[in-house]
Amino acid sequence: MGAGKSSIGRRVARALNVPFTDTDAEIVRAHGAIADLFAREGEERFRALEREAVREALERRGVVALGGGAVLARETRERLRDHRVVLLTVDEDSIARRIRGRRRPLLNGGDPLAEWVRIAGERAPIYAEVADVAFDTSRLPTQTTVEHVVAWLRGEEQHAAAPEEER
């Protein structure tokens, strides 16, 4: 959450001249706001819709931005094995600024930053499992991160550490 998946993904797709799909945006388009969907139908229903959105997006090819919890599903992790996966990370200080005042279903209770830290910690091993490479978005301008991702995808750069190297 808050690492820049949508904005960076959209720019990477444009740079590579391929389609871009944001699975969260697809869900919103078909079912309304995610926070409302969570409240109305629960997280389990949202996750089922998310798995389907991911499946469809991966079949269309191009750059796909997944919601932060999409990889919790084993089915999604298995589908990602056939694709290059870029993990975008962000540190606590940066995320505190990015999530302030935002409506995010999993962060709406108590202390949003503490919840983000907890969720990020729980998901980190899963992210590392599926990612081929990681880029930190905390301090670099968005366009610089885009350039690094594009270079990596084109095989031009060994800039980012693979998740295994970051542990």
Q: How many residues does the chain have?
A: 167
Q: What is the distance of C-alpha 11 from the center of its chain?
A: 14
Question: Is 5 labelled as part of a ligand binding site?
Answer: yes
Do the beta carbons of residue 122 and residue 72 sit within 8 Å? no
Is 2 known to sit in a ligand binding site? yes
Residue 94 among known ligand-binding residues: no
User: 7 a known binding residue?
Assistant: yes
Is 47 annotated as contributing to ligand binding?
A: yes
10 is in an annotated binding site: no
Asked if residue 70 belongs to a known ligand binding site, the reply is no
**Does 120 carry a binding-site annotation?**
no
55 in a known ligand binding site: no
> 3-state class of 65 per DSSP?
strand
What whole-number distance in Å separates Cα of residue 15 and Cα of residue 79? 25
Alpha carbon separation from 85 to 13, 21, 132 (Å, rounded): 14, 14, 5
Answer yes or no: is 4 a known binding residue: yes
- Summarize the annotated binding site for ATP as residue ranges: 2-7, 104
- Summarize the annotated binding site for substrate as residue ranges: 24, 47, 68, 123
- Summarize the annotated binding site for Mg(2+) as residue ranges: 6
- Summarize the annotated binding site as residue ranges: 2-7, 24, 47, 68, 104, 123
